[in-house]
Amino acid sequence: MKFFYQNQGPANPIEIKRNFMRASNYPVSSSFWTEFWSEGHTTTFGAQLPANYQGELQAHWRRWAERLKDNELVFDLASGNGALPCLLQSISQGMKVNLYANDIAKIHKLERLTQKGITFYEETDSTQIPLPEGSVNHFVSIFGFEYSEMEPTLSEVKRLLKPGGTFNVICHHSQSKVVTEAHQMSELLKQLLVSNVLNDVRQHTLNKSPDKKQLLDRTITKKIQRLKQDFGSAIQFSGLNQLFKKIYTTQLPEQKIVDEITLYTVQCENQIRRLFHLHSSVLNEDSLESFVSISERLGFKNISGKLVKENNDVIGINLSFSNLLSC
Ligand SMILES: C[S@@+](CC[C@H](N)C(=O)[O-])C[C@H]1O[C@@H](n2cnc3c(N)ncnc32)[C@H](O)[C@@H]1O
């Protein structure tokens, strides 16, 4: 698959600009997830949630885990670096729960999860899980189920769920605050790259002429002010402040500054790809209707979809069903 961005070599701002013009044809792949997980993040929210899920998202799984019984097999779909199995493990301490997970990407330090007793299938699509029929008691997922194709994934769930087994997942929803914020961040990062301000900073570093430096200073200030005007407080989550702090308040050698700018540019590009993937996976009224009709066709019962809220904001949708007990 050909990316519209290539990660090799230093970023070329003109190419970046040109590529953004073709952004509507963004292809989706897993390599940008592999890169993200290789940075060691716990959850998909990266530095914003460094430990693990908190608040209502954590509370949901605490309530859910109360029904767990000893020796049951719980499978987390599209687990990333294993946030949910790790959370479930800490919640269900004292119980013997068999935790399994998959992800289409390569994950960070697989042996770390294996040592904790979690069986992880990396580079494995949720539609093709290498377990025998009827071996799973519970499927769970947090912002993961919706990333794979719905019908083949639900068919795979049907194949693997034991009679009486359950499915309980939290997905991105079109009304969610998380999705709105992700959209804003994606627009901000695109604008940041298109404005060429990172190239101005690079030129500012390399240029020896004080006049030229002063001119570039003014250009950079103007462009950043414009971004602040258009995107307000979102800029504080873009990592730009940290980049500027690093390159302007520490005495880094020229080449190190250029490297930092290149690294940040590549990280922005990857984040845009991940956010694009998020947007193409968000559940809306149509996809929820499909979820219900496919689940009914597969014979699942007690099919339900409930918005997950925190401080009155929608932050996701909780989908669930159960598999019929055999007679
Ligand atoms: C938003 S992240 C969530 C990861 C994790 N559940 C968490 O909350 O930290 C979505 C994950 O879905 C994975 N993914 C995307 N398509 C997939 C597929 N077809 N099968 C399995 N995993 C997939 C990505 O690699 C990524 O790790």
Nearest to 282 by CA among 146, 125, 180: 146
Q: Cα(220) to centroid of ligand 1, in Å?
A: 36
Any ligand 1 atom below 6 A from CB of 57: no
Any ligand 1 atom below 6 A from CB of 143: yes
Any ligand 1 atom below 6 A from CB of 321: no
pLDDT in tens, the chain (327 residues): 222 222 333 333 333 323 433 443 434 457 899 999 999 999 999 888 899 999 999 999 999 999 999 999 999 999 999 999 999 999 998 899 999 999 999 999 899 999 999 999 999 999 999 999 999 999 999 999 999 999 999 999 999 999 999 999 999 999 999 999 999 999 999 999 999 999 999 999 898 899 999 999 999 999 999 999 999 888 988 999 999 999 888 888 989 999 999 999 999 999 999 999 999 999 999 999 999 999 999 999 999 999 999 999 999 999 999 998 765
Any ligand 1 atom below 6 A from CB of 260: no
Which 8-state DSSP code applies to residue 10? S
Show the tokens assigned to 46: 């990266």
* Contact call for residues 79 and 85 (beta carbons, < 8 A): yes
Q: Cα(177) to centroid of ligand 1, in Å?
A: 19
* Contact call for residues 158 and 295 (beta carbons, < 8 A): no
First to last CA, the chain: 47
Show the tokens assigned to 95: 């119980």
Q: pTM higher than 0.85 for the full model? A: yes
Q: What average pLDDT is seen over the chain?
A: 89
The angle, 0 to 180 degrees and rounded to 10, between the axes of the packed helices 31-38 and 254-281 is: 130
Any ligand 1 atom below 6 A from CB of 125: yes
Q: Which residues are within 8 A (CB) of 225 and not within 5 positions of it... i.e. 6 or more apart?
A: none
Query: In this structure, which long-range contacts are made by residues 51-56, counting pairs with CB atoms below 8 Å and at least 24 apart in sequence?
Result: 52/83, 52/86, 52/87, 53/83, 53/84, 53/87, 53/142, 55/310, 56/308, 56/309, 56/310, 56/315
